[in-house]
Amino acid sequence: MSKHNFTTMNRAELRRYILAHREDQEALQAYIDRFQDPEAIVFPAPESVEDLEHYPELHRQYQDRKHQRD
Distance, in Å, from the CA atom of 16 to the CA atom of 68, rounded to the nearest integer, reads 33
**pLDDT tens per residue across span 6-31:** 888 988 999 999 999 999 999 999 99
More confident residue, 38 or 4: 4
pTM of the model: 0.51
What ranges do the domains of the chain cover?
Answer: 1-36, 39-70
CB 27 within 8 A of CB 35: no
pLDDT at site 27: 94
**pLDDT tens per residue across span 26-66:** 999 999 988 887 777 667 777 888 877 877 887 788 788 77
pLDDT at site 19: 96
Strands annotated E in the chain:
none
